[in-house]
Amino acid sequence: MELLVVRHGIAQDRVEFAKTGLEDARRPLTDEGRRKFEKGARGLREVAGGIELLATSFLERATQTADILQEVWDGKLRTVRLHELEPDADPDALLRWLGTQRRRQLVAVVGHEPHLSRLVEHALSGGKSSDFLDLKKGGACLLDLGKSPRAGQARLRWLLTAAQLRRLGR
C-alpha cells in the first residue's frame, strides 16, 4: 500500500478568522489558496496516479482541499472523513485505520500540521521523533507502507513542495 500525504492549501489567517467568532474548524481556504492548490493538484495527478480512497479531516480547509482533489480526479474519488486526521490525532490511530484498507494500492489523506509531519516521521522511524519534516501548506509526500502499515516500516518515495507540484501541474 502507498500513502499519499497532502497538507491542506493556504487557509485564512487564524487570528483574523478568530475575529469572526466562528470556531477554527470552520476556517476556509483563501481564494489564493484555492487557485494555488488547483495547480498543485494537477501536479499531484501527474505523479500520484490512481488514488483509490481519499480521506480528510472534518476541518473546513482540509475538506475544501479534498474537494479540489476530487475535481482534478474528475469526481471519481471515494472520499471519507476521519477523526484520525485531526491536528492533534495520534499517528498510530491513522496507521490502524490504514490497516483496515490493506486491499487498496493508493490511499490519499488530507490533513494538518503538526499531525501529518508526526505521522510521516512515525511511519518512517517508528516513533523516534526528530522533527526532520515540516510539511508546508499544499505540499505532499508519498510513502510506501508495505503490506501492513506499521510504525517504522514505511519508505519515503518522494516529498514535493507546493511550488514543485504547481510546476508539475502546468
CATH code at position 157: 3.40.50.1240
Domain count within the chain: 1
Measure the CA–CA gap between 86 and 63, rounded to whole angstroms.
Answer: 12
* Range of the structural domain that residue 106 is part of: 2-168
The pTM of this model reads: 0.95
Three-point CA angle 129, 64, 61, nearest 5°: 50
Looking at the chain, the whole-number percentage of residues with pLDDT higher than 90 is 86
| pLDDT tier at 129, thresholds 50, 70, 90 | low
Give pLDDT tens digits for 59-100. Answer: 999 999 999 999 999 888 899 999 999 999 999 999 999 999
Identify each DSSP E strand in 98-145 by its residue range.
Answer: 106-111, 140-144
Specify whether the backbone of 127 is left (phi greater than 0), alpha (psi in -120 to 50) or beta.
left
Q: Is 54:69 a contact under the CB 8 Å cutoff?
A: yes
Q: For residue 7, what is its C-alpha cell?
A: 497538507
